[in-house]
């Protein structure tokens, strides 16, 4: 299996672990990228309609796929260094998994009605402008409460938080900033 994206002519950007910057289309990426020495991978604002093989980015800390036309977020690496996934402003309706290493999840402005359980280390969660039901919003916020972390950020703009008052109050009492 290899990493792939459509359209393949779109130029990804990536950094290695020494912060050297690279850019290139899919063919260039496959020929030159060292997946074991990549800290950052970005396919933002390129009209991307599909991406596969993200689970191979085990050394990558941040994956950014914002402002495209993705309808699903494929499998992410279950092990490794991934701490941030940002795929806001797409058309994502399904997500395969969240690695336990994540601390930042940005999913605003998609078509999500459900998501996998929030990992225990997440301190930044952006969910604004998705069609979640009020009960789902409360369950997601309840996951954050159960994780017991302090001083996070939670973005819920445009969501029905009518069932979430107690959970929001608990997070705010722990130093979380909640945007509704």
For residue 124, how many C-alpha atoms fall within 13 Å in the half-sphere facing its CB?
A: 11
How confident is the model over 34-75, as pLDDT tens digits? 999 999 999 999 999 999 999 999 999 999 999 999 999 999
CATH superfamily for domain 4-179: Ribonuclease Inhibitor (3.80.10.10)
In the predicted model, is pLDDT for residue 79 greater than 90? no
Q: What is the DSSP string of the chain?
A: ---EEESTTS-EEEEETT--EEEE-HHHHHHH--GGGEEEEE-TTS---EEE-GGG-TT-SEEE--SS--SEE-PPPSSSS--EEE--SS---EE----TT-SEEE--SS--S--PPPPTT--EEE--S----HHHHHHHHHHHHHHT--S-EEE-TTS--TT-HHHHHHHHHTT-EEE-
pLDDT of 82: 97
For residues 98-117, average pLDDT: 97
Residues 6+ away with beta carbon under 8 Å from 137: 127, 156, 159, 160, 161, 163, 164
CA–CA distance, 144 with 122 (Å, rounded to integer): 8
For residues 87-104, average pLDDT: 97
How confident is the model over 150-165, as pLDDT tens digits? 999 999 999 999 999 9
pLDDT of 1: 73
Tell me the average pLDDT of the chain: 97
For residues 137-161, average pLDDT: 97
Prediction pTM value: 0.96
């Amino acid at each position: 299996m290899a990493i792939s994206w459509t359209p393949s002519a779109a130029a990804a950007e990536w950094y290695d672990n020494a912060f050297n910057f690279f850019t290139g289309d899919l063919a260039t990426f496959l020929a030159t990228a060292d997946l074991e020495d990549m800290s950052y991978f970005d396919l933002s604002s390129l009209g991307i309609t599909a991406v596969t093989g993200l689970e191979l980015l085990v050394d990558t800390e941040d994956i950014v796929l914002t402002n495209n036309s993705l309808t699903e977020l494929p499998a992410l690496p279950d092990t490794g260094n991934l701490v941030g996934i940002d795929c806001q402003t797409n058309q994502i309706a399904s997500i395969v998994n969240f690695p336990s290493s994540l601390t930042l999840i940005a999913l605003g402005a998609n078509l999500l009605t459900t998501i996998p359980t929030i990992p225990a280390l997440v301190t930044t969660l952006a969910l604004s402008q998705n069609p979640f039901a009020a009960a789902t919003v409360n369950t997601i916020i309840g996951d954050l409460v159960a994780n017991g972390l302090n001083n996070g950020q939670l973005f819920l703009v445009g969501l029905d938080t009518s069932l979430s008052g107690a959970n929001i109050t608990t997070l705010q009492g722990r130093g979380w900033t909640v945007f509704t």
